[in-house]
Amino acid sequence: MLFQITHTTRYLYKTPVSHCLNELRLSPRMLPVQQIHETAIHVNPKPAFIHHRQDYYGNDVTSFEVFERHDRLEATAESAVDVQLETRELPTLSWEEARDQTAAQGGAECIEASEFIYSSPYVPALPQLKDYARETFAPQRPLLEAAKELTHRIHTDFKYHPKSTSIDIPLADVLRNRRGVCQDFAHVMIGALRSLRLPVRYVSGYVRPGPKVQGAQASHAWVSLFVPGSGWFSFDPTNDLIISDSHITLAWGRDYGDVTPVKGITLGGPGQTVEVEVYVRPFKNVG
């Protein structure tokens, strides 16, 4: 499936800003099942410089700095991405086998994945996360079967409510109130899986729009679970999906803090309004 994506972030300042430095993670990753036809970042006012690099996790990062005085800043990312259907065979090993094989670090892939076992700034180790996970992860249950049920439980137990939370709301409050947005649901699932010593990472991107799809035409988030010998498998608890060709991957890390789409600092007067517009247009491949 070919997607055309436009993501615009607009800052409107009450008083002019004299200087800003920003960092964007809005360029899709190149993956075996995700090919990038084109991607570009446009900034207004024109920045003094734009620098492209890859961060620790291999995500594409664009940094720019504006020195001229301005009361409005707009950054737009445009991409054309072809996402292919996953065709891998699903492994059947139990979650305990996956945990133990990862812990044994038998190979570079397990060593790399093992850093996603530990708590992170947005996903602390909470006792209630382990209690929540244990309801699904019975002894010797196949890992992906249990992960699929956990995805469904979060989708059912938590109410999607875009105005109910912000990224600064502690995860404990999300668990107590049982409502939030895709970032919250991803953090809940990550915390539950990590409580069992399973490696799981936070993924940012976009989801194909549809009549029953939540989180479309906006930044979206889901999780990716490591299976020794088979690689990473992705789940979207917001939409109760095992991900195939319906999602476009931007970046991944331990949690939201590692993959924030737009962040930066400004020098100038207080007060700002942030507007975000995202358009995801799917097209059928021709030829």
Those residues with Cβ within 8 angstroms of residue 50's Cβ, 6 or more apart along the chain or in another chain: 41, 43, 62, 63, 64
Would strands 159-160 and 179-180 be described as parallel, antiparallel, or unpaired? parallel
Side chain identity at residue 133, one-letter code: A
**Separation of alpha carbons 199 and 180, rounded Å:** 23
pLDDT, one tens digit per residue, over 39-76 is 999 999 999 999 999 999 999 999 999 999 999 999 99
* Pick among 3.40.50.170, 3.10.620.30, 3.20.20.150, 3.40.50.300: CATH of 95-243: 3.10.620.30
Retrieve residue 156's tokens. Answer: 């059912």
Q: Under a CB-based contact definition with an 8 Å cutoff, are residues 155 and 200 in contact?
A: no
Q: Which residues pair with 38 in a beta bridge?
A: 80
Q: Is 285's pLDDT higher than 70?
A: no
Predicted confidence at residue 196, as pLDDT, reads 98
pLDDT, one tens digit per residue, over 164-219 is 557 788 999 999 999 999 999 999 999 999 999 999 999 999 999 998 999 999 99
pLDDT, one tens digit per residue, over 235-261 is 999 999 999 899 999 999 999 999 999
Assigned CATH for 2-84+260-283: 2.60.40.2250
Predicted confidence at residue 192, as pLDDT, reads 98
Confidence of residue 283 (pLDDT cuts 50, 70, 90): confident
Same topology, domains 2-84+260-283 and 95-243? Answer is no
Closest CA to 81 of 126, 113, 35: 35
Each domain of the chain, given as residue ranges in start order, spans 2-84+260-283, 95-243
pLDDT, one tens digit per residue, over 29-40 is 999 999 999 999
